[in-house]
Structure 1
Amino acid sequence: MTQQSIEQRIADLGLVLPEASDPQGSYTNCVKTGNLLYVSGKGPVAGLSEVPKGKLGREYSVEEGYEFARITGLDILAAVKLELGSLEKVTRVVKLQGFVNATEAFEQHPKVLDGCSDLMANVFGEKGVHARSVFGATSVRGNLPIIIDSIFEVEV
């Protein structure tokens, strides 16, 4: 029995990778050092006709935040594919770090970041299960609802 490719798994999940979003400052999307690929912070912007702006707990619900995190995960995967040429070169999702633009009273940050975490596990299986941290932020670039940066182990 042959193992299903990552690209096929993405298609089977009904997902489409957007064109990777461009950096929004003086930095690059990805830096590879040794067998680690660091992906700069991404938000829910790639492939959307309208970029969401606002805070979780005010403009957006936990469920909407989960979807924004999933969309952000697709942009992360698009950046990884652009950098490596293929998602097959990913050997492990190491870490996700989320910054949730939220009201002071908002407490569901982990449930929001689950949108990206679940995506990585669905796409990569066991090697998509990762370490992570999530923080509430009073402000993020562009007033996006979430920013996620990530680290991947890749083939050398």
Structure 2
Amino acid sequence: MTGKIETRLAELGVTLPDAPAPAANYVPFVTIGDMVYVSGQVSADDSGFITGKVGADLTTEQGAAAAKRCAISLLAQLKAACDGDIDRLVRVVKLVGFVNSTADYTEQPKVINGASDFLVEALGDAGRHARSAVSAAALPLGVAVEIEAIFQIK
């Protein structure tokens, strides 16, 4: 039976993928008590990595779309951390977003809004969170965006 969160995601046209495997020597998430710390998820879609530098290769809107893909991967990791029951989510606590952007680019918050807006749209008040949005001179594999998250679960 599909739960409340996955039903809402389906209404938005989103199906959670399998949680991406780590790309190096780390674990995808750590659970301590009622908190789940999810490692940075990079921008990727069904075609592969979403790469490029925002402000040169990508527009703010394209960066925001890449950030939304990161949020989808974060939820996939959360589902794995909850043994498949993503309805254990209480709330999104915090996002830390990194934007691969040019030195003069200043709209990193608008890029990370792609993840924030999606989480609120999908989760309602439980999706509201604290957040950082920072620039990076480069990100692993040349991706446009990487986002890590902290979730509270029951």
Corresponding residue for residue 71 of structure 1: 69
**Which runs of 5 or more structure 1 residues have no equivalent in the other structure?**
none
Corresponding residue for residue 7 of structure 1: 6
Q: TM-score, normalised by structure 1?
A: 0.93
Give the letter for the 2:32 counterpart: T
Distance 2:112 2:98 in 1: 9
How many correspondences in the alignment?
151
Q: Secondary structure at the match of 1:65?
A: helix
Deviations 1:28-75 (A, max 9, x none): 111000111000000112x42132221000110000001000011111
Does 2:51 align with 1:53? yes
Corresponding residue for residue 153 of structure 2: 154
**Which runs of 5 or more structure 2 residues have no equivalent in the other structure?**
none
Deviations 1:55-110 (A, max 9, x none): 00011000000100001111111111112121100101000000100000111100
Q: TM-score, normalised by structure 2?
A: 0.94
Distance 1:108 1:133 in 2: 13
Q: Work out the percentage of aligned pairs sharing the same amino acid.
A: 36
- Displacement after TM superposition at 1:150 (Å): 0.2
8 Å CA contact 2:36–2:81 kept in 1: the answer is no
Runs of 4+ with deviation above 2 angstroms: none
Distance 2:16 2:73 in 1: 7
1:83 alignment partner, one of 81, 84, 88: 81
RMSD: 1.1
